[in-house]
């Protein structure tokens, strides 16, 4: 049964990918990309990667779709049609040859689901076997244990990358805008009564769910990355319906920027605390009298830091993109004349 679902979903995924390439209407392409993400989230669940599915569903079908739509709103939403761009034999040739080489390469791969594949030896059995005694017997989700403790360095690096990306987007879009950033109150969606009425009770529920995912990540699928994205989705929904100005009444740009850094600081702080207490960086054993309690405390802090950073980064990104506003009609001409040397 699962194999059948796997085959069908993968076939859908392939069809959707081809549709994405062929669509000229960028708006439609972005929406299909959302479907693509949702399908892949379903596939990840079939393949037992529930945490990945959770992340893909909230990121791919949620935040990344919204960011792309925001980009289209301030730029253009149709790909220009050019006869010579319709079909590119060179590109097709490169792709077919590379694809054929890769398919040939798969003949040496272990079969799908093979328990004897090399990837399932070495570290994975160690993690599965020793999480209860090395980390904490009350953390059944091995993915969380590996993410926050065994591979804490790696996750710290990833959190820093997210932080850096937010700084870059801030530099690109946050500075003195060349165009008017003010738009008359609320988005176009704000005018719709049904949307306003249905969004209002949804927003607190989404935020509450985000907190549940954050603090339940040790026991089930979830954790800081997913929770941060869901929390941001709640704020983004509010901003979409009620306008970015009202959303920024509490989460002003300044405060969000501080939160972006705060999360990384909490993570790094939990690491440095290990050094101060006489251990190594990100050594949680020393954070409490009992190493198991220490591990739990460390994982809690690290996940909290990740959650804060991710939520703040995603909300900041959304506000930066939408804050860019529509260029006034004369602005386009200015850009054009500047472009010609």
Q: Of 290, 285, 264, nearest to 275 (Cα)?
A: 285
Q: Which is nearer to other proteins, 232 or 247 (CB)?
A: 232
Rounded to whole angstroms, the Cα distance separating 283 from 274 reads: 5
User: Whose Cβ is closer to other proteins: residue 167's or residue 286's?
Assistant: 167
**Under DSSP, is residue 279 helix (H, G, I), strand (E, B) or coil?**
coil
The nearest distance, CB 143 to other proteins, in angstroms, is 5
**Residue 245 vs 331, nearer CB to other proteins:** 331
Q: Least Å distance between CB 234 and other proteins?
A: 17
Shortest distance, CB of residue 288 to other proteins, whole angstroms?
22
Rounded to a whole number of angstroms, the minimum distance from the CB of residue 270 to other proteins is 17
CB atoms within 10 A of CB 32: 17
Smallest CA-to-CA distance from 236 within 317, 326, 324, 325 is with: 317
Task: Please compute Rg for the chain using Cα positions.
Answer: 23
Which of 290, 61, 250, 264 lies closest to 167, judged by CA?
A: 264
Q: Which is nearer to other proteins, 195 or 259 (CB)?
A: 259
CB-wise, 100 or 277, nearer to other proteins? 100
Q: State in angstroms the smallest separation of the CB of 73 from other proteins.
A: 10
Cβ neighbors of 213 (< 8 A, separation 6 or more) are 54, 222, 223, 226, 227, 230
103 or 249: whose CB is closer to other proteins?
Answer: 103
The two structure tokens encoding residue 335: 């850009």
Q: Considering the complex, state which of residue 262 and residue 286 has its C-beta at the smaller distance from other proteins.
A: 262
Closest distance of CB 236 from other proteins, Å: 13
243 touches 187 (CB < 8 A): yes
**DSSP bridge pairs for 78:** 25
Nearer CB in complex with other proteins: 290/331: 331
Cβ–Cβ under 8 Å, residues 310 and 223:
no
For the bound state, the minimum distance from the C-beta of residue 92 to other proteins, rounded and expressed in Å, comes to 7
- Locate 40 and state its tokens: 């892949």
CB 43 → other proteins: shortest distance, Å?
Answer: 7
Question: 240 near 69, Cβ under 8 Å?
Answer: no
Return all residues near 156 (Cβ < 8 A) that are at least 6 apart. 267, 268, 271, 282
């Amino acid at each position: 049964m699962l194999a059948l679902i796997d085959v069908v979903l993968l076939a859908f995924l392939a069809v959707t990918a081809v549709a994405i390439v062929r669509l000229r209407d960028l708006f439609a392409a972005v929406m299909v990309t959302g479907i693509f993400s949702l399908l892949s989230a379903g596939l990840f669940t079939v393949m037992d990667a529930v945490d990945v599915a959770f992340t893909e569903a909230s990121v791919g079908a949620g935040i990344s779709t919204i960011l792309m739509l925001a980009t289209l709103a301030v730029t253009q939403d149709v790909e220009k049609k050019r006869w010579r761009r319709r079909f590119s034999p060179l590109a097709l040739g490169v792709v077919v040859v590379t694809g054929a080489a890769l398919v040939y390469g798969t003949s040496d791969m272990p079969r799908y689901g093979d328990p004897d594949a090399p990837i399932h030896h070495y570290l994975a059995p160690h993690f599965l076997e020793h999480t209860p005694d090395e980390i904490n017997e009350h953390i059944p989700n091995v993915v969380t244990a590996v993410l926050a403790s065994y591979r804490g360095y790696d996750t710290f690096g990833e959190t820093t990358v997210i932080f850096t990306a937010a700084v870059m987007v801030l530099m690109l879009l946050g500075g003195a805008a060349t165009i008017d950033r003010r738009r008359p109150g609320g988005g176009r969606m704000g005018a719709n009564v049904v949307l306003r009425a249905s969004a209002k009770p949804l927003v607190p529920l989404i935020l509450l769910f985000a907190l549940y995912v954050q603090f339940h990540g040790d026991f089930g699928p979830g954790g800081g990355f997913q929770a941060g994205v869901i929390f941001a989705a709640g704020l983004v929904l509010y901003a979409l319906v009620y306008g970015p100005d009202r959303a920024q009444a509490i989460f002003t740009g300044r405060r969000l920027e501080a939160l972006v850094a705060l999360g990384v600081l909490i993570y790094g702080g939990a690491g440095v605390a290990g050094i101060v207490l006489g251990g190594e960086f990100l050594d949680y054993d020393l954070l409490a009298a009992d190493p198991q309690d220490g591990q739990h405390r460390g994982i809690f802090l690290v996940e909290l830091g990740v959650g804060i950073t991710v939520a703040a980064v995603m909300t900041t990104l959304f506000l930066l993109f939408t804050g860019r506003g529509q260029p006034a009609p004369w602005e386009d001409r200015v850009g054009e004349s500047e472009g010609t040397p």
